[in-house]
Amino acid sequence: MEDLMKLRESIDEIDSEIVRLYKERMEISKHVAEYKITTGKKVFDKAREDEKLEKLSSLAEDEFLKHGVVELFEQIMSTSRKKQYQLMTEHGIVEKEDFTEVDSLDFSNARIVFQGVEGAYSQLAMKTYFGENCNGYNVDTWKDAMEDIKCGEADYAVLPIENSSAGIVSENYDLLVEYDNYIVGEQIVKIDHALLGLEDADESDITSVFSHKQSLMQCSDFLEEHKQWEKFSVSNNAVAARKVKEDNDKHQAAIASAKNAQIYGLKVLRNSIQDNKNNSTRFIVVTGKKIYTKVANHISICFEVNHESGALYHALSHFIYNGINMTNIQSRPLQNKNWEYRFFVDFDGTFEDDAVQNALRGLKEETISFKILGTY
């Protein structure tokens, strides 16, 4: 049996030779980048890379080695591309994003739209962000709000995008793709759900409860203690509170904020019934203009990738290689493409950062249907 130390020495020698050849290859890649910079040729040439991977894998004897060769050279070529993107930025080839920087958002005569009725959490988010006396109005659906931005009826819309307990508001992710409206701000609101009923009702009287589906999920532990209650989903928590008041049925209750008890003349039957006592919802502020403030330091994007092994990994590697902190990733299914997805990513950075420029350049070239959703 060969001595382990000698085997390790042999591996060390081979590894040193691999590093030497890798450095030599990367030096040649720099010349390739310079040629592409001069000619305007794109960095990513998928057909060329696929052809090369097939040729290289054919040099291996068995399937295990073939797979390893492909994985190795996919990584090498991916790193080579990232170096080329970096060199393009260093040469001053910067793709100016089609967004305009402003000193601050103009709220002076702004009309702001939110979904729901008086007392909705969206209204609370709006007043927290824009001020108590802002010029706000309500619509029935989130799509209505986005449509009002598109048509110029409103300057800004406030939409819930994610809850710390129940997860994403999937419909609003889809609306960000459907409409050319852009995120310019965010507001986090603490969510404290209460059980509301008529003034003469007690908790023991309740047989049915109404709320938004997200709120029902956020109070699942409490509702599990009352399995006999029928649960009904409505468009908004404040709508649920208004319904209980209008129906005047003491067997009905709403899950909403305690503030809705004051607004609609109801009684708080139980406070803080949400599972997570630190429950919060993140709201986004959107507008129809491609603008951002000079203090913006978060960027939201979406993209699709080819439905093949490693595609998402290679897309996300642009954040790793450029040292960018990715703060959120979500996915939504693509219409008419079963089991294929669109990915939504939030990350720290600004358009002026070289690292961000490198990452965005790579993502634009190597993904499908890339879109910047806003910076804020």
Q: What is the dihedral of CA 44, 49, 319, 67, to 10 degrees?
A: 170
Residue 36: alpha-carbon gap to chain centroid: 33
Catalytic residues: 281, 283
Phi, psi dihedral angles at 357 (to 5 degrees): -60, -45
Alpha-carbon gap, residue 44 to 46, rounded angstroms: 6
> b/e string for 265-274 if b means 16 or more Cβ within 10 A?
ebbebbeebb
What number of other Cβ atoms are within 10 A of residue 65's Cβ?
12
Q: What angle do CA 323, 316, 92 make, to 5 degrees?
A: 55
- The DSSP secondary structure of 24-40, one letter per residue, reads HHHHHHHHHHHHHHHHT
- Helix/strand/coil (H/E/C) assignment for every residue in 92-133: CCCCCCCCEEECCCCCCCCEEEEECCCCCHHHHHHHHHHCCC
Report whether 273 contacts 219 (CB < 8 A).
yes
Alpha-carbon gap, residue 47 to 70, rounded angstroms: 15
CA distances from 104 to 293, 294, 332, 344 (A): 5, 7, 32, 26
